[in-house]
Amino acid sequence: MAIEHYFILSAILFCIGMAVIITKKNAIVVLMGVELILNAANINFIAISQLDNIKLGGQFFALFVIVVAAAEAAVGLAIILKIYKYFSTTNLDEINQLKG
């Protein structure tokens, strides 16, 4: 498999994830877009790590990206739950004040 194909798949997934973040109004769907972007980055790491299959730097980096993504999803959902308790909505256009 040519390594360019991994990069093109990753670029397409990145753009779809970015479009999800830009267009969606619900905060949870925006988090899904963030996960898509992190997956796109991971595909790049794995593809590059094929070239050096002895030291495996890319695979280690992808593992740590997955760990950070799990932590980010947990904290992000906790914040969204708190916002829902306060504003009674998760529509990002209606959440427009920082005062709590």
Minimum CB–partner distance for residue 75 and other proteins (Å): 5
- Phi/psi at 94 (5° precision): -90, -15
∠ CA 4-14-33, rounded to 5°: 155
Minimum CB–partner distance for residue 6 and other proteins (Å): 7
Q: How far is CA 14 from the centre of its chain?
A: 9
Extract the tokens encoding 70. Answer: 């799990």
The residues facing 26 across adjacent strands are 91
Question: For residues 2 and 98, which CB has a smaller minimum distance to other proteins in the complex?
Answer: 2
Residues near 29 by beta carbon (within 8 Å), at least 6 away in sequence: 20
Minimum CB–partner distance for residue 18 and other proteins (Å): 6
Binding site for other proteins (CB under 8 A): 1-9, 11-20, 22-26, 28-29, 31-33, 35-36, 39, 42-43, 46-47, 49-54, 56, 59-60, 62-64, 66-75, 77-82, 84, 90-91, 93
Minimum CB–partner distance for residue 34 and other proteins (Å): 10
Question: For residues 51 and 98, which CB has a smaller minimum distance to other proteins in the complex?
Answer: 51
